[in-house]
Structure 1
Amino acid sequence: MPPLLALPFPAIDPVAVAIGPLQIKWYALAYIVGLVGGWYYAKRLVSAPSLWGAVRRPNPLDIDDLIVWVALGVVLGGRIGYVLFYNLAAYLAHPAEILAIWRGGMSFHGGFLGAVLALVLFARRRGLNTYAMLDLASVVVPIGLFFGRIANFVNGELWGRPAPDFPYAIVFPNGGPLPRHPSQLYEAFGEGLVLFVLMAIAVRACGFRRPGLLGGLFVVGYALARTTCEFFREPDPQLGFLFGTHVGALGGGITMGMLLCVPMVLAGAVFIVRALRGDTRPRPRLDGSAADSAEVTSA
């Protein structure tokens, strides 16, 4: 019998669409909606010359190609990151399971690094400013984060810590008898909705004229939002708390999610400082025109 204060977990079928033997789950649909939404928003942003100033804009066809690069980077990086950061021993014992992506197991931090690598390679191949491309991605990524966390909730995974006295706690099907924080929804709100609004305000105020600034703001903002949500999220069972132990309602331990956010804050701060100093801007040529953005990427 669940506690009186607990809310029942909504009975949502994890399969969003089923056509005969073909099944599309909410988790896969979240990735699709996030990528398509990001693609559409990015095309709108590159069609506004006033946002770019002297920085070379990618054209709409570049965005069409970029979405493929980023999708591969997110999926491969997310899987490799989960294997390395969260469950290495188990996958070393059963290496064939590494390829079983359909069974779950993705890391945002790994997907983030995979997307960054894809963006860097794409920018260099097309002669675009690397920092500006990272900025563009940073503005649209919260769309995918929002839908991804909603899918986590629908799947009843990555639930929160026990919260027996919280009036909106939920008893998750696989989370034991205790009511728990719906931390997936907290993350959807903080890492998705709030960060999306903040990045939209920043891009309208600053544009992409200071390459690296928006990317730095996003990285720091995500790290802060994720760290805050980690106080409500149950650590992965195979890792638990890396330092400290669960103390009180919010806990006092350090999780892997928190630890991985530390280098993100440092990297984001470096990006912001370099952007404000003008280190990433196109350098003027002797004839007074802006330097080709490919020359800036080595700065």
Structure 2
Amino acid sequence: MPPLLALPFPAIDPVALAIGPITIKWYALAYIAGLLGGWFYARRLVATDRLWGTGRRPSLTEIDDLIVWVALGVVLGGRIGYVLFYNLPLYLNDPLEILAIRNGGMSFHGGFLGAVLAMGLFARVRKLPPFSLFDLAAVTVPIGLFFGRIANFVNGELWGRVAPDFAYAVVFPSGGPLPRHPSQLYEAATEGALLFVVMALAVRRFGFRRPGLLSGIFVLGYALARTFCEFFREPDRQLGYLFGTEGWPLGGITMGMLLCVPMALIGVATIVLALRGVAAPRATTQARTEPS
């Protein structure tokens, strides 16, 4: 029997605005809010001299250009990652479905790799130290994660595991009659808000003077937060649990947990190398930031 305090899913229309045949969904607005929020915050960080050492930093104009590269990397990488990691047999049978992004299907891990590739290419083209961009992104990405997970909740997707004894579980329209953990809100709180605070404290303490350190902290922090939330999140139906079951002592191993293992290892290695100064730029000439 569901708990007395189980909450019905709030009646929120996934469509935020409709003008004739044109519809704008909350999910699209979440992407826009995340990108614009990250862009604004990155510009403020770049303009704060005390956070930077003597290495070359991106200019404000370069930050404006970078946002387009990152947006393409996130969307393309997120879609390709979902196709490869979560539902490859479906797309092999119907390749045109890969283009049907309106039907959903994005992977954070794929979007992360796409953004890293885009920033690496941008750094090469503009002759920037790659870690100056990676570290900047590490501080700003939690903004997008927060809005994205809130949008997942609004859409009633990626809901959590059945939680009959949890007083504040939610009955999702597409999740059956049983109350479930609102795991999207857990992810918004940990991967988004909490990780944002951690990164803000890290940049306040270390600045961007140790190339790679902020990147490592973010990658490790996300891997830990996502793994924690996976214990409450229902695994993708087409994959299920890769090992164990929901009642298993560890709650069952999911694809999300598996993909976080290399992330955690890379995060730890990056932190160690950054503290040893391995990624420090050779040049010591400081480029002036453009006025805004």
Per-residue CA deviations over 1:30-72 (Å, capped at 9, x if unaligned) read 0000000000000000001211111211111001100000000
Aligned 8 A contact 2:181 2:233 in 1: yes
User: Which residue in 2 is equivalent to 1:283?
Assistant: 282
Percent of aligned pairs sharing the same letter: 75
Aligned 8 A contact 2:57 2:286 in 1: no
Unaligned runs of 5+ in 1: 293-299
Q: Tell me the SS of whatever aligns to 1:24.
A: strand
User: Which residue in 1 is equivalent to 2:119?
Assistant: 119
Q: Tell me the SS of whatever aligns to 1:56.
A: coil
TM alignment of 1:77-92, pairs within 5 A: 77-92=77-92
Q: Tell me the SS of whatever aligns to 1:200.
A: helix
Q: Does 1:128 align with 2:135?
A: no
User: Using the alignment, how far apart are the partners of 1:157 and 1:251 within structure 2?
Assistant: 24
User: Using the alignment, how far apart are the partners of 1:133 and 1:111 within structure 2?
Assistant: 16
Aligned 8 A contact 1:172 1:179 in 2: yes
User: Using the alignment, how far apart are the partners of 2:86 and 2:168 within structure 1?
Assistant: 29
Per-residue CA deviations over 1:227-286 (Å, capped at 9, x if unaligned) read 0000000000000000111116x85211000000001011111211111001111225xx
- Larger RCO of the pair (alpha carbons < 8 Å, separation 6+): 2
User: Using the alignment, how far apart are the partners of 1:132 and 1:275 within structure 2?
Assistant: 12
TM alignment of 1:1-299, pairs within 5 A: 4-247=4-247, 252-283=251-282, 289-290=284-285
Aligned 8 A contact 1:135 1:208 in 2: yes
Aligned 8 A contact 2:34 2:147 in 1: yes
User: Using the alignment, how far apart are the partners of 2:119 and 2:267 within structure 1?
Assistant: 16
Per-residue CA deviations over 1:168-190 (Å, capped at 9, x if unaligned) read 00100000111000000000000
Aligned 8 A contact 2:52 2:209 in 1: yes
Per-residue CA deviations over 1:139-180 (Å, capped at 9, x if unaligned) read 000000000000000000000000001000010000011100
Q: Quick one: which amino acid aligns to residue 150 of structure 1?
A: I
Q: Tell me the SS of whatever aligns to 2:24.
A: strand
Q: Quick one: which amino acid aligns to residue 267 of structure 1?
A: I
Q: Quick one: which amino acid aligns to residue 7 of structure 1?
A: L
Distance 1:281 1:183, change over 3 A: same
Aligned 8 A contact 1:2 1:171 in 2: no
Cα drift, residue 131 of structure 1: 1.2
Q: Tell me the SS of whatever aligns to 1:128.
A: coil
Aligned 8 A contact 1:33 1:147 in 2: yes
User: Using the alignment, how far apart are the partners of 1:282 and 1:85 within structure 2?
Assistant: 35
Q: Quick one: which amino acid aligns to residue 272 of structure 2?
A: V
Q: Tell me the SS of whatever aligns to 2:18.
A: strand
Q: Quick one: which amino acid aligns to residue 265 of structure 2?
A: L
Per-residue CA deviations over 1:177-205 (Å, capped at 9, x if unaligned) read 11000000000000000000110010011
Cα drift, residue 4 of structure 1: 3.0
Q: Tell me the SS of whatever aligns to 2:149.
A: helix
Cα drift, residue 2 of structure 1: 6.2
User: Which residue in 2 is equivalent to 1:296?
Assistant: none
User: Which residue in 2 is equivalent to 1:295?
Assistant: none
Cα drift, residue 5 of structure 1: 3.3
The alignment's C-alpha RMSD in Å is 1.5
User: Using the alignment, how far apart are the partners of 2:281 and 2:84 within structure 1?
Assistant: 37
Per-residue CA deviations over 1:53-103 (Å, capped at 9, x if unaligned) read 112111110011000000000000000000000000011011100000111
Q: Tell me the SS of whatever aligns to 2:23.
A: strand
Q: Which has the larger displacement, 268-277 or 152-161?
A: 268-277
TM-score w.r.t. length of structure 2: 0.95
